[in-house]
Amino acid sequence: MYRRTATAVVALTATAGLLAGCGSGSSGGKTSTSDVSGASAASELSSAISSLGQGSTLTVTLKLGTTGSQLVSFVHQQDKASTLTAAQAGAIAGAAVTFEVTAPSGKTLDQISGLTSSGAANIALVDNGKTWFAIRIINQTLYLQADLKDLLHALGQDQSYRQIAGASAQLPSFLSAAVQGKWISLSLAALKHAIPGATGASTANPSQAHHLIDQIKSLLTTDVTVTKSSSGGTDTLTLSANLRTLARDFTTTFANSIPGAGAALSGANLSNVPDKNISLKATVSGGALTGLTLDLAQFAKHPSGSLPIELAFAQSGPAISAPSGAVAVDLSQLGPLLGSLGGGL
């Protein structure tokens, strides 16, 4: 929405997601002594993040905490000439991205690293109860499904879908199935055999993964002041930080800890990030992090009202199963297809 602060907003959200999958590491930094239990608010936050890795299932949901009508009102307050319609706002407000991961039987999430021969993961884009896109990884098999027809319809691209559907008969069977909204599957083991190193990035070294998590976890409490706003069955913590400092430190952490990230982040112009303080809310229940909320109105040109983006954490979720009838990707056709696409770029 506001290009100047997009890097920092994404960094905050991405950090929460990365921390959700961790279970180890210590932290330090600025703390608050307002916690009557004796532990600092920062320590409570650190412990709450670690607790997420101590279960066998974790579901993370990212969405706007607003309605379509509230979104229209907020946008029009910022830009009187906005052409956002009620239907478009309803679709945006009703959209959610969910990520669920389960550990192998008998293990917890903080005992695994990278892809394993068991366990499962599911990522889905859902809008008002309808799944538009989903990816699953189960027993070293990748499954993918997209409701391309309805998705393009929502984007006003019906003609594009008709053109794609019209040409699908000339495509390999697995791509034709994908165009029709069917599930397709790809064996990661077969892919690695056919293209050595193709899945290498997916199997991180445990010590490297824990090192990255330790850095991010420490960063969250070092450069963020954490205070307890309320306590009870659910504790509310307020996290405050300077946006430019946070963006700079996130960039440094990712550039040094993730292979290849340095080149990708080297062009980031952090001078465009506003030098201002921001805050977000964290909720802790039963000793585990249950939510993070960032009010995007803090970045608005004309601060008025609120536009919260919410990240919810749950240590439960529906069983992740392999979809029936998935059409297998033919690797003998995939290679030449990718080659022809690459040659046309």
Grouping H, G, I as helix, E, B as strand and the rest as coil, residue 169 is helix
In this predicted model, what pLDDT tens digit does every residue of 248-294 receive, in sequence order?
Answer: 777 776 665 555 555 555 666 777 788 889 898 999 999 999 998 99
> What are the tens digits of pLDDT across the range 41-71?
888 888 888 888 888 898 989 999 999 999 9
Phi-psi category of residue 249: left, alpha or beta, with phi > 0 → left and psi -120 to 50 → alpha: alpha
Q: Which residue has the higher pLDDT, 223 or 17?
A: 223
Write down the pTM of the prediction.
Answer: 0.75
Which pLDDT belongs to residue 67?
94
Distance CA 245, CA 278 (A): 11
Lookup: tokens for 51: 């607790």
- CB-based contacts of 37: which residues, under 8 Å, 6+ apart? 44, 231
Percent of the chain with pLDDT over 70: 70
By C-alpha distance, which of 169, 165, 172 is closest to 334?
Answer: 172
Average pLDDT over residues 183-190: 85
Is the per-residue pLDDT at 208 higher than 80? no
Mean pLDDT of 192-204: 52
Instruction: Please check whether residue 292 is in contact with residue 51, taking contact to mean a CB–CB distance below 8 angstroms.
Output: no
The sheet that has 141-146: what strands, in order across it?
A: 225-230, 234-242, 277-285, 288-295, 308-314, 57-64, 95-102, 120-127, 130-138, 141-146, 184-187, 327-328
Contacts of 129 by beta carbon, 8 Å cutoff, 6+ apart = 94
The stretches of 168-205 forming alpha helices (DSSP H) are: 173-179, 188-194
Chain position carrying tokens 């703390």: 31
Q: Indicate the SS3 state at residue 273.
A: coil
CA atoms within 13 A on the CB side of 345: 6
SS3 96: strand
Give residue 195's pLDDT band: very low, low, confident or very high (50, 70, 90): low
pLDDT at res. 163: 85
- Work out the mean pLDDT of the chain and round it to a whole number: 75
Least confident of 26-40, 308-322, 331-345: 26-40
3-state secondary structure of 120: strand
d(CA 59, CA 313): 6
Whole-number pLDDT of residue 267: 63
Q: What single string gives the DSSP state of each residue in 25-82?
A: ----S---S--TTSS-HHHHHHHHHHHHTTSSEEEEEEEESS-HHHHHHHHHHH-TT-
Q: In terms of Cα–Cα distance, which of 218, 226, 219, 183 is closest to 324? A: 183
In this predicted model, what pLDDT tens digit does every residue of 67-121 receive, in sequence order?
999 999 999 888 888 988 898 899 899 999 999 988 888 888 877 765 555 678 8
- The confidence band for 325, taking pLDDT boundaries of 50, 70 and 90, is very high
**Could you tell me which of 161, 145, 166, 164 has the C-alpha nearest to residue 327?**
145
